[in-house]
Amino acid sequence: MTTPTATAPVDSLAYWNDTRRPFANLVFVLPWIVVYELGVWATGAGGEAVRNGADAWLRTTLSTVGVSSAMSLPLFVLGGLLVWHLITDHPSCVSGDTLAGMFAESLLFAFVLILLGQGADMLLHSAFVLDVTPASPITSPPVVSLGWGLRLISFVGAGVYEEFVFRLCLLPVAYFLLRGLLIPHTPAVVGAIVATSVIFGLAHYLPVDPEVGTRGYLWAAGVQVAAKPELWFGFAFRTLAGVFFAALFYWRGFGITVGCHALYDVVVGIILMSRL
C-alpha cells in the first residue's frame, strides 16, 4: 500500500522536468507548425494575408542572408530545438501522457489568461469611464477581419512564431544583457520580462512602412498608442499577456507557452467573438 504514495511525487517531478526539455517541446510544437504551414500553403496566393508579424520578420531576416525557401523558417525553428536537445543530451523520448498533459496545461493557462483579460476589463469599467474592448486575440488586429478558417491558421502561427521571437530568443538575450551589466539574477529576470513584454505589446501596433527602421517602428508604435486612448487597453492587455507568457515560459517551458498563446487566440478570436 505504500508504493503508490511513494512513487506519485517522482512521477509528478518527472512530468514537470519532461515538459521543459527541448525534445518534448520539439515534438509538441511540431504539429502546430505543420498545421500553420500547410494552412498557409493551402490558401494559395492569399497566404501572405494569414502570416503574422513575427513570421514576416523572421522570414525577412532569413532572406537577408540568402535563405528564402518557404520551409526555411519552420526548419530553422525545429532545427534550433533539435540543436538545443543535442546539446543538453536528454533522452530522445516523450510519452503520449506527457504530450496530453502539455496540451491540457496549455488549455488551462489559456482560460486563466481569458479570466485575467475579463478581470482587467471589468476593473477599467468600474474605475474609469472608458470605452474599452474586452479581451481580444493577442495577434495583430487586422487578422480578426478574416474568415474563421484563415483566423485559425493565423492564430496557430502567432502562437509558434511570436513565442519563438519574444520568449525563446529575445527574453534570454535581454536577461544576459542585464546580467552583463552586473545586475543580480532575480532583478535581471524581472527586468527582462518587463522589457520584452513592453516590446511585445508595442509590436502589435507597428506601422506598415518598409522605409522606417526597427527603432523607428517601435517609436512610432509607442507614439501611436500614446495618442489614441482607444488603444490603451489593448496595449496594456497585450503587455500583461507578454508578462504572463514570459512567466509561463520561465516556469513551464516553450511548448506549453506556444500552446497557451495559440489556444487563447483561437478560443477568444473564433469561439467567443463569434457570439458577440
pTM for this entry: 0.85
Taking CA atoms, 273 is separated from 11, 149, 219, 259, 268, in Å, by 39, 14, 31, 20, 6
Residue type, 258: V
pLDDT at 1 (0 to 100): 47
Neighbours of 90 (CB within 10 A): 17
Q: Which of 25-34, 89-98, 250-259 has the lowest mean pLDDT?
A: 89-98
Instruction: Report which of 257, 252, 208 is spatially closest to residue 110, judged by C-alpha positions.
Output: 257
pLDDT at 126 (0 to 100): 63
Q: Is residue 240 a contact partner of residue 121, using CB atoms and an 8 Å limit?
A: no
Among residues of the chain, what percentage have pLDDT more than 70? 80
Q: In whole angstroms, what is the distance from residue 66 CA to residue 150 CA?
A: 29
pLDDT at 129 (0 to 100): 46
The mean pLDDT value for 230-247 works out to: 91
Higher pLDDT, 276 or 70: 70
pLDDT at 147 (0 to 100): 74
Mean pLDDT rounded to a whole number for the chain:
83
pLDDT at 7 (0 to 100): 42
pLDDT tens, residue by residue, 149-208: 788 888 999 999 999 999 999 999 999 999 999 999 999 999 999 999 999 999 888 765
Among residues of the chain, what percentage have pLDDT more than 90? 46
Q: Reply yes or no on whether the pLDDT at 227 is more than 60.
A: yes
Q: Reply yes or no on whether the pLDDT at 30 is more than 80.
A: yes
pLDDT tens, residue by residue, 250-275: 999 999 999 999 999 999 887 766 55
pLDDT at 135 (0 to 100): 47
Residue type, 9: P
The mean pLDDT value for 33-39 works out to: 92
pLDDT tens, residue by residue, 37-81: 998 888 875 566 677 778 888 888 888 888 878 788 999 999 999
Q: Which of 21-35, 87-101, 108-122, 131-145 has the lowest mean pLDDT?
A: 131-145
pLDDT at 205 (0 to 100): 86
**Degrees (nearest 5) of the Cα angle 47, 48, 49?**
90
Please report which confidence band the pLDDT of residue 90 belongs to, taking 50, 70 and 90 as the band edges. Answer: confident
pLDDT at 133 (0 to 100): 46
Q: Reply yes or no on whether the pLDDT at 115 is more than 60.
A: yes
Taking CA atoms, 36 is separated from 29, 150, 153, in Å, by 11, 10, 5
pLDDT at 216 (0 to 100): 61
pLDDT at 2 (0 to 100): 45
